[in-house]
Structure 1
C-alpha cells in the first residue's frame, strides 16, 4: 500500500515538474475554442474572429499564467 502511494505521489510530482518546464519553455498553445483556426462559425453560419484568442489562434497556457502571477506577487512583495 505504501509503495503504491509513493509511486503515485512521485508520478504526480514528475508530471507537475514536466508541465512547469513546458510552460517556461513554450508558453503558447492553440486556442481551445477555434483550435488555432483564428476564426469560428457563428449561429447564423458566418465566420468571425475568435473572441477568446482575438483572432490570433494562440493563447497563453494556464501554467504560464500561474508562473507570471507568482513572479509578479514575489516582486511586489520584495519592494
Structure 2
C-alpha cells in the first residue's frame, strides 16, 4: 500500500473522525457509568445480602473516562509550564 492509495486514505480519515469524536465525547461528557456497579454506586457483599459502596467509583456510580484523564494531564502539564515563565 502506498500513502496515496484510496483505501488507506479512507482508513486514515475514518480513524481521524473516530478519534475526534471520542475527544469531543470526553470533553462534554467526562464521566461514564461505573462498569463494576452499573452506575448504582452499590455492590453486594461477597457473603450475605449487605450492600456496600462500590470501591472503584467510591459510591458515586461514575468513573472518569480514560480520554478525559489524558486531557486533564495535558492541561496540567501545560499550566505548569506556562506559569513557570
> Quick one: distance in 1 between partners of 2:60 and 2:81?
34
Deviation track 1:23-77 (CA, whole Å, cap 9, x = no partner) reads 1111111011111011112321432110000001011111111101001001111
Higher relative contact order (CA 8 A, sep 6+): 1
Unaligned runs of 5+ residues in structure 1 are none
Rg larger for: 2
Which consecutive segments of 4 or more residues in structure 1 shift more than 6 A? none
Unaligned runs of 5+ residues in structure 2 are none
SS in structure 2 at match of 1:53: coil
Counterpart in the other structure of 1:37: 40
Give the length in aligned residue pairs: 79
> Quick one: distance in 2 between partners of 1:41 and 1:19?
32
TM-score by length of 1: 0.90
2:16 maps to which of 8, 13, 17: 13
TM-score by length of 2: 0.84
1:54 maps to which of 42, 55, 58: 58
